[in-house]
Amino acid sequence: MRHWRVDALAAAMLVVLLLASLHMISAAVQRSEELGQWFIPLLLFTVVGLVLLFALVGWNLGQLLRDYRRRVAGSRLSARLSVLFLVLALLPVSVVYFYSIRFLSSGIDSWFDLQVDSAMEDALSLSKLSLDLHKLERLKLSENLLNSVEDSSQTAVALSIDGLRETAGASEMSLFDVQGKVLAVSHANPEFLAPTPPDGGMVQQVVGGENYVGVANGPDGRLVVRCLVLDKAQRGLVLQALYPVPQSLSELSASVQEAYEAYRTRAYMRGQIKFSFALSLSLVLLLGLFAAAWAAVFTARRLVQPISAIAEGTRAVAEGDYSKQLPQPKVEDELGLLVSSFNAMTRRIARAHNALQENRRKLQTQHSYLETVLRGLSTGVMALDAEGRIQTANRAADQILGVELGDLEGESMNVLAELSESLQPFVERIVEGFARGVREGRAEITLYRGGGRQVLLCRHSPLETEADAPPGHVLVFDDVTELVKAQRDAAWGEVARRLAHEIKNPLTPIQLSAERLRRKYLDKMPPDDGEVLDRATHTIVQQVEAMKAMVNDFSDYAKPTKLQLKSLEVDPFLAEVAALYEGGTQHLTMALDVPGMVVEADPVRLRQVLHNLIKNGLEAAGRDGHITISSHGGEEEGRDYVEIAVNDDGPGFDPDLIRQVFEPYVTNKTKGTGLGLAIVKRIVAEHGGIIRAENDSDGGGRVVLRLPAIGSTHTGEPSVQGGRA
Amino acid sequence: MNAITRLLLFAILFSCLPLVAIADEGVDFRRVALTLSEDGRILLDAEIVYDLNETVAEALENGVPLTFETHVQMRRAEAWIWESDVVEHRLRTVLRFRPLSGLYELRNLSGDEQLSFATRAAALGALGRIVGMPIVARDDLDLDQDYLVQVDVRLDIEALPLPMRPMAYLDGDWSLSSEPWEWRLRP
């Protein structure tokens, strides 16, 4: 603002000074006698002032151009307004200037027409004629006066000069010799002792024989007739007489001469007068133009300044600076109202923004808190939108599902199944629930993963996000594999413990009683009866033994085991176990394909598992049957595993029971406790593995157990292929 | 040394000074001399030749009065620039043509002396003759100091009729002035 004021003050002062200067130039032209000496200095001052004003205008225009090129807010509008104002000022001023110059030129020309020229010449000629008559008369008088002096000596003539002057009525009379030496002087005013010297040319003319007569201005401004006559009496004398022209004739002639001189001088100066007027008018025009240009730029910039400020403010707000406040214009007009409204708006926006920031900060805090909580949860949490697309998931969900869910944001749940086939049941169940429109639900889903069986306990509930948007879903799932297993083990252990307790206790008395009966009465009974007794007691003892064995199995199953884990190389271990069956009637074939692969297992328990499976296989294959023990490795979800399979060429599993063969008391054998495969499964589970039973398409059954591999000592040895009988 | 001897010495000294006839435009110094009068005043005698060009002559014939100024200046030779002159004279004379009488009129503005001449040449000749113009009394000078005397002549444009001045400043024909005539003097 200070800059504007200084600029305006400087320009206004300059314009005022220039106006004063132009006014004084005008005064100098009108009163040239008094102020003429100031004309040129004022002219120079005006030119310098105009140059300064031009520089000021140029500087302002330069600033405007610079702002325009830099696309400063408001510069375009300023430029347009400036040009508009300038054109509006330029057009009328130019028209006035053009016609003023024309009128001036024609007006000055009209001063000097032919008639006035002719009249002035005529007036001068008339005055000359009138004066010529007077001059001739005075010349004649002077000649007669000189001739009337009859004394031949110069001295006599000199002595009579006063009389001659008085006789002739001359104001001055003097006598010279032909060399111009003054011989005598007579003046009407006795104070004048020296004669008015004649021009050398005049004297020469007279000496040459032609008397001189002329009119000149006297010291008092009155015209005088100067006569120079040569003495005809050959006395070598020249008489000069100055006669005052009669007052009336002198005044009239002087007036005519003055008017003629003035007219002739003006006529001569016509061009200069036009030039002076044109110069003055041009200076006025330039002052007007420069002042108008400066005023145009200044006014445009001042007018646009609040708009520029608003544009700047708007830009600042758009860039996020909500604290922007514009200086309030002093003038209370519409622009001032606009500025105050803008300031009020930015204040409100700033308040709202601050509140928003505060809310966002709180929200972020809550979000961080929630994230921390979710991250710390061992429960998997997954948020899905209404279409079942994954929105977010916590780390536990990644760990439980074995998938980086963060990479799958926005993807459908089906992508999970594509990434990992083992997640298919999980995905199907969830998607099916969504398809059925289930809003809330709970389910236990069992997955068969590379690392074994996995039981997930899933809960599903709607997730309200936005008021008018369909609700999404939130899935919460826990890996309850261990829990389920522990529960089941605990349940079966309890059953087994009770069975052992309830059954085992009476068995020993029964057995002892039967042995005692046999011992006491066998010898005393007749042979036939004795044979019956012997067979009966033998049967009782045998069955009691069988029951004891069964109860012991139960005890084994119920007994909590403590694994002695070691690193076992699978293939040698299988070969070692299989070696125990050499020499049997059945064929046993080895197909080992995981050389060097190592699992972490309790060798006793794993041997028990293998014996159980081989024994089951041999039983299923019959006397001439054929079983195959094979091993192969694989990788699922980044984890290596080893699969050990025992195939037999028996009838295979009953398709109706194949899913429950590992449950206790599920068997298709005529003898046995039905706990063999249950114990096998439990041991495999305790090793973190899974087991499955299946039938070959070409007949025969197969039990496959999968154990997680912990490494390999692979040396590139070929796989073992061989058979034993 | 009596006054007559000193006068003679001065006359010889100044007469030996080289005459300057350097013209700028239309004004020449044909002869310039300083003499010591009997009453102890230093006098200037000069003969200046005015050669009016066509433009100036035309203006004169059309009644425009021409004012010529002879500027005489005396300063201490070692004077600083801000030091005032010891003596400064301006002899201003107006030459104009009177159409009624057909005479050229010379008027001395300082002395109110007025002379008329039948021809322009005679008027310019009279204008150029400066005889015994008193400059300064010798007693007013410091006899141990050197002084610089400078004489120059010019046509005073500022005295022209006002409408003619701007053009006269711009038109070189109106720049009638002499080169300064300058010499060192020890009184």
B129 at A interface, C-beta within 8 A: no
Give the pLDDT of residue B154.
Answer: 92
Q: Which residue of chain A has the CA closest to B107?
A: A219
**Chain A contact for B103, CB < 8 A?**
yes
Cα–Cα distance, B95 to B155 (Å, whole number) = 11
Q: What is the CATH T-level fold of the domain A131-252, as seen in this structure? A: Beta-Lactamase (3.30.450)
Q: What is the mean pLDDT of chain A?
A: 82
**DSSP category for residue B175:** -
For residue A684 the two structure tokens come to 């495999």
Tell me what the mean pLDDT of segment A578-590 comes to: 80
Q: How high is the ipTM of this complex?
A: 0.73
pLDDT > 50? residue A446: yes
pLDDT at B5: 41
The CATH number of domain A566-724, selected from 3.30.565.10, 1.20.120.1200, 3.40.50.2000, 3.20.20.70: 3.30.565.10
Q: Which of B54, B124, B162, B173 to mutate to test the interface with A (most CBs of A within 10 A)?
A: B162
Domain boundaries, chain A: 2-111+269-315, 131-252, 377-479, 486-558, 566-724
Of the candidates A36, A202, A217, which has its C-beta nearest B98's C-beta? A217
Confidence of residue B58 (pLDDT cuts 50, 70, 90): very high
- For residue B96, the chain A residue with the least C-alpha distance is A261
Q: For chain A, how many residues are written?
A: 725
List all residues 6 or more positions away from A370 whose beta carbon is below 8 Å from its beta carbon. none
- Contact residues, chain B, for A201 at CB < 8 Å: 117-119, 122
3-state secondary structure of A103: helix
Give the DSSP letter string of A262-306: HHHHHHHTHHHHHHHHHHHHHHHHHHHHHHHHHHHHHHHHHHHHH
Q: Are strands A587-592 and A626-636 parallel, antiparallel or unpaired?
A: parallel
State percent of chain A over pLDDT 70: 93
Q: Tell me the per-residue pLDDT of A616-672, one tens digit each, with 9 for 90 and over.
A: 888 888 877 888 999 998 888 778 899 999 998 888 888 777 767 787 766 666 666
Q: What confidence tier does B12 reach under pLDDT thresholds 50, 70, 90?
A: very low
| Smallest CA–CA distance from A122 into chain B, residue | B100
The model carries a pTM of: 0.52
Most A CBs within 10 Å, among B54, B69, B101, to test the A interface = B101
**pLDDT band per the 50, 70, 90 thresholds, residue B95:** very high
Buried b (16+ CB within 10 A) or exposed e, A688-704: bbbbbbeeeeeebbbbb
Please report, rounded to a whole number, the percentage of residues in chain B having pLDDT higher than 70: 86
Q: Is B103's CB within 8 Å of A40's CB?
A: no
Judge whether residue B19 has pLDDT over 50.
Answer: no
B110: contact with A, CB 8 A cutoff: no
pLDDT tens per residue across span A703-715: 999 999 888 776 5
Residue B23 has pLDDT above 50, yes or no: no
**Is the CB of B145 inside 8 Å of chain A's CB atoms?**
no
The answer, yes or no, to whether residue A723 has pLDDT greater than 70, is no
The pLDDT of residue A452 is 63
Q: Select from A392, A375, A374 the least CA-distant residue to A383.
A: A392
B118 lies within 8 A of chain A by CB: yes
CB contact under 8 A, A257 and B166: no
Burial class (CB in 10 A: 0-12, 13-18, 19+), A115: exposed
| Yes or no, beta carbons of B63 and A273 under 8 Å apart | no
Using alpha carbons, select from A369, A441, A423 the residue that is nearest to residue A636: A423
Q: Rounded CA gap, A384 and A472, in Å?
A: 6
Q: Is the pLDDT of residue A451 over 60?
A: no
- Minimal Cα distance from A261: which residue of B? B63
Q: How confident is the model at residue A44 (pLDDT cuts 50, 70, 90)?
A: confident
Give the model confidence (pLDDT) of B110-165 as tens digits.
Answer: 776 788 888 899 899 999 998 888 888 888 888 888 899 999 999 998 888 888 88
Across chain B, mean pLDDT equals: 81
Whether A131-252 and A377-479 share one fold: the answer is yes
Nearest CA in chain A to B164: A272
Take residue A286 and report the two structure tokens written for it: 């330039």
Residue with tokens 């004297």: A203
The amino acid present at A457, given as its one-letter code, is: L
Tell me, rounded to whole angstroms, the distance of Cα B48 from its chain centroid: 8
Tokens of A158: 């000199």
- Looking up tokens 């041991």 gives A683
pLDDT band at B4 (very low <50, low <70, confident <90, very high): very low
First to last CA, chain A: 112
DSSP assignments along A326-350, one per residue: PPPPSS-SHHHHHHHHHHHHHHHHH
Rounded CA separation A254/A259 (Å): 8
Cβ pair B162:A124 closer than 8 A: no
* Residues of chain A positioned with their CB less than 8 A from the CB of B161: 32, 265, 269
Residue A304: burial class (beta carbons within 10 Å; 0-12, 13-18, 19+): buried
- Average pLDDT in the A503-514 region? 84
Burial class (CB in 10 A: 0-12, 13-18, 19+), A681: buried
Q: Which of B158, B157, B60 is nearest to B117 (CA)?
A: B60
Beta bridge partners of B91: B70
CB pairs under 8 A between A and B: 99
Q: How many Cβ atoms sit within 10 Å of the Cβ of residue A444?
A: 13
Given 3.40.1350.10, 3.30.450.20, 2.60.120.10, 2.30.30.60, which CATH number is that of A377-479? 3.30.450.20
Query: In Å, how far is A54's CA from the nearest CA of chain B?
Result: 22
Rounded to an integer, the average pLDDT of A80-90 is: 85
Where is mean pLDDT largest: A550-559, A681-690, B17-26?
A681-690
CA distance A108 to A10: 38
**Res A314 pLDDT > 50:** yes
| Cα-based angle A543, A547, A553 (whole degrees, multiple of 5) | 145
pLDDT value, residue A77: 83
Instruction: Count CA atoms within 13 Å of residue A64 on its CB side.
Output: 25
- Is B166–A264 a contact, with Cβ atoms under 8 angstroms apart? no
Q: Which two tokens stand for residue A200?
A: 């050398």
**Tokens matching residue A497:** 């413990």
pLDDT digits 0-9 by tens, A156-176: 777 778 888 888 888 888 888
Has residue A200 got a pLDDT over 80? no
Residue B56 predicted with pLDDT over 90:
yes
Q: Check: CB of residue A151 under 8 Å from CB of residue A159.
A: no
CB B4 within 8 A of CB B28: no
Position A560 pLDDT exceeds 70: no
The reported pLDDT for the residue numbered A529 is: 83
Give the Cα separation of A12 and A107 in Å (integer): 34
Token pair of A667 as six digits: 């068997």
Question: Is A198 in contact with A239 (CB distance < 8 Å)?
Answer: no
**Residue A225 host element (H or E):** strand A223-230
pLDDT per position as a tens digit, A524-541:
888 888 888 888 888 888
